[in-house]
């Protein structure tokens, strides 16, 4: 009897436990945006038992229609947590029994979510081509702190700095602009040595036209290769510069710097330098030909000289100014002063064996000093007379004074052996030259845009130039032959040739040009131009030979003198 009761109670307990396990339900609801009323996709739903912390929570996510469904949820008290990126979280308490719990649509409130800044880095474009302009982007090239534009140019492919000039793709840069404005005239090295690299946005290389061709829009073949330094917009206002100095033993020094004051259109730059170690960052304009190859004489070409041989003491100053004077006038001007005191001492020793086994020894010593003073000025002035009328004036002058003194001591030994000296031939040359030169030019260009249905332009230009050159040369040559005493007094001369030459070479040029340009169609235009030039040059060279009475006569030597003119 007891056994039967025990069996019945066990069966009842099993049936009761199965019934309790069977009490599970489900939860279903929809998640949507309260503002747009659209379904929220991917919202995370968490169902956590509130009475039993040991029970693992249930998770699911909303589908494409925003529906969320929890199945087989044991009966009990739960807390629903709902979250989604960009929305405020939502909580809801609910009771789950054996049936399905269907909730109303749960609305999520949109919320602005702050995220960290996103930085996209891409390699800087090194260069680009726009028409005939090749543009180098400065940010693509790295230079040291405090570097100038020259250091930046040296890293750019196709650009080369050599022999005191700049070459781009094999073409010589003849002029440098800063933001489209002329900078230090024709001296390209002064421009790139005084603009800091960190203020440059890009460097453009292009073929520029003359003033007349630029206005008319017709290339008449007188263009040149130019380089334009484009500065960063945030660097076009303010003052900046650089100062440097050094001193060494024995008594060597260098000092200099530059100051730039930029205020949008108004730009002032002052550069200066002093040293006695032959450093010359900006050069003078050699209009006398004194630093070119010997025998070439003066030249009317602008020639920025290379550094001289020997030791030079240099004092130099430069000023550049550009500004807009109101809405009608623009000006750009520059001035340079340069003083160079050069000393050069060289000695050459060599030996040679003749066909008769005679030994010939050569010993030359050359000592020279050259003092050069140079002034040069360049300016461009543009004035807008009216809407269709404008006037442009270019003025430039160069003044150079050059004094040079040289002495050459030459000795030639003829001998058959070390002790068998046949004779000694000596020569002593003195050179004393004083040269003075002036170049001045002025050009006026009137420009008028004619009225009409098709664009048409009229340009009228007049100008002139003057070149003056004077030279006083007093070369002296003493030679003697000393057969016995190699240390004889050098005042015992066997022959001498002492002369004085005065050279005067003035010249001037007048020119005028008229140009007319008219567009025929969008792709064609007509250009008419007339030019005329008149030039007059003369040369007067008077040479005087020292007489036996040790004086120069009043009459010139006819064989060594000349006088002629050419046009």
Token representation of residue 32: 């949507």
Neighbours of 150 (CB within 10 A): 19
Per-residue confidence (pLDDT) for residue 485, from 0 to 100: 46
Q: What are phi and psi of 459, to 5 degrees?
A: -130, 140
What's the rounded Cα separation, in Å, for the pair 77 and 91? 14
- Tell me the mean pLDDT in the region 45-66: 87
Element (H, E) at 8: helix 2-21
- Tell me the mean pLDDT in the region 101-112: 88
- Considering the domain architecture, whether residues 91 and 187 belong to the same structural domain is answered as no
Confirm whether 115 is domain-assigned.
Answer: no
Per-residue confidence (pLDDT) for residue 384, from 0 to 100: 92
Token representation of residue 255: 């000092």
- Considering the domain architecture, whether residues 438 and 499 belong to the same structural domain is answered as yes
The answer, yes or no, to whether the previous bond of 250 is cis (omega within 30 of 0) is yes
Domain boundary among 210, 235, 260: 235
Domain boundary among 180, 209, 235: 235
- Considering the domain architecture, whether residues 43 and 158 belong to the same structural domain is answered as no
- Considering the domain architecture, whether residues 400 and 530 belong to the same structural domain is answered as yes
Confirm whether 29 is domain-assigned.
Answer: yes
What's the rounded Cα separation, in Å, for the pair 228 and 183? 10
Element (H, E) at 17: helix 2-21
Per-residue confidence (pLDDT) for residue 247, from 0 to 100: 92
What's the rounded Cα separation, in Å, for the pair 337 and 316? 6
End-to-end CA distance of the chain: 155
Please state which of the ranges 168-182, 201-215, 315-329 shows the lowest mean pLDDT. Answer: 201-215
The larger pLDDT score, comparing residue 301 to residue 442, is at 442
Nearest-5° Cα angle at 155, 149 to 161: 65
- Tell me the mean pLDDT in the region 164-171: 80
Per-residue confidence (pLDDT) for residue 10, from 0 to 100: 55
Residue 118 in contact with residue 92, Cβ under 8 Å? Answer: no
Cα distances from 376 to residues 5, 286, 366, 379, 441, in angstroms, run 131, 10, 31, 10, 12
* Model pLDDT for residues 402-449, shown as the tens digit of each residue: 998 888 888 777 766 656 656 667 777 878 888 889 999 999 999 998
Per-residue confidence (pLDDT) for residue 282, from 0 to 100: 66
Structural domain count, the chain: 3
Per-residue confidence (pLDDT) for residue 21, from 0 to 100: 47
Confirm whether 397 is domain-assigned.
Answer: yes
- Considering the domain architecture, whether residues 175 and 205 belong to the same structural domain is answered as yes
CATH at residue 194: 2.170.130
- Considering the domain architecture, whether residues 406 and 507 belong to the same structural domain is answered as yes
pLDDT at 298 over 70: no
Confirm whether 96 is domain-assigned.
Answer: yes
- Considering the domain architecture, whether residues 103 and 139 belong to the same structural domain is answered as no
What's the rounded Cα separation, in Å, for the pair 44 and 81? 8
pLDDT tier for residue 463 given thresholds of 50, 70 and 90: very high
Per-residue confidence (pLDDT) for residue 218, from 0 to 100: 59
Per-residue confidence (pLDDT) for residue 222, from 0 to 100: 66
pLDDT at 459 over 50: yes
Please state which of the ranges 4-18, 376-390, 422-436, 547-561 shows the lowest mean pLDDT. Answer: 4-18
pLDDT tier for residue 347 given thresholds of 50, 70 and 90: confident
pLDDT tier for residue 274 given thresholds of 50, 70 and 90: very high
What's the rounded Cα separation, in Å, for the pair 469 and 296? 14
- Considering the domain architecture, whether residues 344 and 426 belong to the same structural domain is answered as yes
What's the rounded Cα separation, in Å, for the pair 505 and 192? 36
CATH at residue 66: 2.60.40.10
Confirm whether 549 is domain-assigned.
Answer: yes
* Model pLDDT for residues 500-551, shown as the tens digit of each residue: 888 888 899 999 999 898 888 877 888 888 999 999 999 888 888 878 777 8
Per-residue confidence (pLDDT) for residue 253, from 0 to 100: 93
pLDDT at 85 over 90: no
- Considering the domain architecture, whether residues 163 and 87 belong to the same structural domain is answered as no
Q: Work out the mean pLDDT of the chain and round it to a whole number.
A: 81
- Considering the domain architecture, whether residues 411 and 455 belong to the same structural domain is answered as yes
The larger pLDDT score, comparing residue 113 to residue 321, is at 321
Per-residue confidence (pLDDT) for residue 113, from 0 to 100: 60
Per-residue confidence (pLDDT) for residue 422, from 0 to 100: 61
Spell out the alpha helix ranges (H) of 107-197: 149-154, 188-192
pLDDT tier for residue 258 given thresholds of 50, 70 and 90: confident
Per-residue confidence (pLDDT) for residue 443, from 0 to 100: 94
- Tell me the mean pLDDT in the region 332-347: 89
Q: Which domain holds residue 158?
A: 127-235
Confirm whether 248 is domain-assigned.
Answer: no
Domain boundary among 52, 73, 108: 108
pLDDT at 71 over 90: no
pLDDT tier for residue 317 given thresholds of 50, 70 and 90: very high
Q: Answer whether 0.75 is exceeded by the pTM.
A: no
Confirm whether 62 is domain-assigned.
Answer: yes
pLDDT tier for residue 354 given thresholds of 50, 70 and 90: low
- Considering the domain architecture, whether residues 131 and 46 belong to the same structural domain is answered as no
What's the rounded Cα separation, in Å, for the pair 76 and 95? 6
pLDDT at 15 over 60: no
Confirm whether 291 is domain-assigned.
Answer: no
- Considering the domain architecture, whether residues 406 and 536 belong to the same structural domain is answered as yes
């Amino acid at each position: 009897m007891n056994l039967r009761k025990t069996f019945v109670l066990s069966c009842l307990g099993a049936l009761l436990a199965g019934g309790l396990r069977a009490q599970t339900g489900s939860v279903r609801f929809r998640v949507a945006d309260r503002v747009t009323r659209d379904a929220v996709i991917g919202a995370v739903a968490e169902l956590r038992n509130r009475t039993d912390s040991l029970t693992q929570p249930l998770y699911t996510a909303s589908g494409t229609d925003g529906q969320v469904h929890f199945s087989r949820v044991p009966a009990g008290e739960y807390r629903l947590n709902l979250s989604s990126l960009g929305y405020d979280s939502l909580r809801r308490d609910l009771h789950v029994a054996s049936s399905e719990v269907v909730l109303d649509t749960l609305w999520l409130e949109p919320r602005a979510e702050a995220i960290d800044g996103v930085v996209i880095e891409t390699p800087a474009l090194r260069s680009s081509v726009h028409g005939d302009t090749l543009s180098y982007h400065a940010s693509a090239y790295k230079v040291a702190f405090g570097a100038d534009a020259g250091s930046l140019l040296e890293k750019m492919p196709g650009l080369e700095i050599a022999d005191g000039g700049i070459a781009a793709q094999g073409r010589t840069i003849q002029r440098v602009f800063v933001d489209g404005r002329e900078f230090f005239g024709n001296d390209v090295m002064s421009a790139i040595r005084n603009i800091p690299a960190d203020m440059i946005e890009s460097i453009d290389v292009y073929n520029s036209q003359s003033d007349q061709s630029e206005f008319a829009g017709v290339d008449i073949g007188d263009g040149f290769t130019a380089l334009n330094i484009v500065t960063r917009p945030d660097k076009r206002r303010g003052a900046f510069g650089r100062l440097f100095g050094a001193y060494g033993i024995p008594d060597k020094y260098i000092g200099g710097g530059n100051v730039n004051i930029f205020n949008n259109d108004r730009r002032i730059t002052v550069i200066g330098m002093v040293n006695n170690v032959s450093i010359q960052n900006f050069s003078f304009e050699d209009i006398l030909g004194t630093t070119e190859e010997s025998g070439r004489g003066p030249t009317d070409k602008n020639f920025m000289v290379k550094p001289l041989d020997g030791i030079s003491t240099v004092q130099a100053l430069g000023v550049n100014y550009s500004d807009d004077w109101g809405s009608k006038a623009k000006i750009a001007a520059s001035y340079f002063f340069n003083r160079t005191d050069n000393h050069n001492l060289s000695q050459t020793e060599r030996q040679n064996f003749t066909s008769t086994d005679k030994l010939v020894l050569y010993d030359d010593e050359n000592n020279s000093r050259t003092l050069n003073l140079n002034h040069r000025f360049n300016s461009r002035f543009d004035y807008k007379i009216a809407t269709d009328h404008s006037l442009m004036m270019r003025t430039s002058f160069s003044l150079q004074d050059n004094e040079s003194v040289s002495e050459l001591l030459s000795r030639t030994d003829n001998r058959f052996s070390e002790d068998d000296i046949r004779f000694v031939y000596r020569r002593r040359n003195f050179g004393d030259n004083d040269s003075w030169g002036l170049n001045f030019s002025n050009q006026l260009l009137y420009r008028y845009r004619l009225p009409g249905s098709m664009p048409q332009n009229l340009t009228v230009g007049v100008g002139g130039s003057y070149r003056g050159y004077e030279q006083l040369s007093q070369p002296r040559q003493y030679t003697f032959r000393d057969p016995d005493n190699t240390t004889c007094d050098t005042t015992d001369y066997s022959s001498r040739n002492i002369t004085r030459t005065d050279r005067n070479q003035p010249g001037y040029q007048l020119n005028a040009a008229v140009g007319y340009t008219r567009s025929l169609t969008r792709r064609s235009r007509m250009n008419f131009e007339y030019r005329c030039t008149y030039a007059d040059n003369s040369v007067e060279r008077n040479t005087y030979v020292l007489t036996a009475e040790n004086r120069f006569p009043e009459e010139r030597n006819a064989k060594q003198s000349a006088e002629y003119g050419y046009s």
